[in-house]
Structure 1
Amino acid sequence: MKIVGVAACTVGIAHTYIAQEKLESAAKKAGHEISMETQGTIGTENELTAEQIEEADIVILATDVKLNNRERFDGKRMIEVATDVAVKSPNKLVKKAEEVLAQKQ
């Protein structure tokens, strides 16, 4: 499974990057490819390309704030959660993504 996602917390520092790291680790552990973008106080980092989004099976948005360029994900299967969910339960979140995709088939 190919996952793309965005992490963004209200302050744009700690939870943004912790959510990114936890999701990347959980997805890789489950054998999936993942690319995460962060939107924080220093702007957007690791910005997802149109190609990455197009190839993705699912989008995970772990955010506490309004995202920039959210329309890029229109038409994609998506899971939206608060950053604390990604921080506290990244493995369950990846499992949920697997379940959402399984329902598609």
Structure 2
Amino acid sequence: MKIVGIAACTAGIAHTYIAREKLVNAAEKAGHEIHIETQGTIGTEDAIPEAVLKEADVAVIAADVKVSGKDRFEGMKIIEVPTELVIKSPNKFIQKVEEVVKGGV
């Protein structure tokens, strides 16, 4: 599965990067490709390349604030959760993403 998404927290510092790291590690451990950009006080980092976006199966938005660029995900399944959820249970979250993509939820 190919996953893209955005991580963003209120301050745009700690939880943003922790959520990104947890998502990437859990997805790769499960055998998936993943690209998560971060949005915060210093702007957008590691923006999702257009080619990666076009091949994505699902978009994950792990955010505690409004994020920009959600329109890029139009036409694909989008899962929005607070950063705390992916930080506390990244592996379970990736299992849920798998279920959603397979049409189980």
Could you tell me which residue of structure 2 aligns to residue 28 of structure 1? 28
Could you tell me which residue of structure 1 aligns to residue 2 of structure 2? 2
The alpha carbon displacement at 1:72 in A equals 0.7
The alpha carbon displacement at 1:38 in A equals 0.2
Alpha-carbon distance in structure 1 between the residues aligned to 2:50 and 2:17:
22
Q: Please, what TM-score do these two structures have when normalized by structure 1?
A: 0.95
Aligned residues: 104
SS of 2:75's partner is coil
CA displacement, residues 6-47 of structure 1 (integer Å, 9 cap, x when unaligned): 000010000000000000000010011101100011110000
Alpha-carbon distance in structure 2 between the residues aligned to 1:54 and 1:93:
23
Could you tell me which residue of structure 1 aligns to residue 88 of structure 2? 88
- CA RMSD across the alignment: 1.0
Alpha-carbon distance in structure 1 between the residues aligned to 2:66 and 2:53:
19
Question: Which aligned segments of 4 or more residues in structure 1 are displaced greater than 6 angstroms?
Answer: none
Unpaired segments ≥5 residues, structure 1 = none
Q: Identity over aligned residues, as a percent?
A: 58
Alpha-carbon distance in structure 2 between the residues aligned to 1:50 and 1:63:
21
The alpha carbon displacement at 1:91 in A equals 0.6
Q: Please, what TM-score do these two structures have when normalized by structure 2?
A: 0.95
The alpha carbon displacement at 1:82 in A equals 0.3
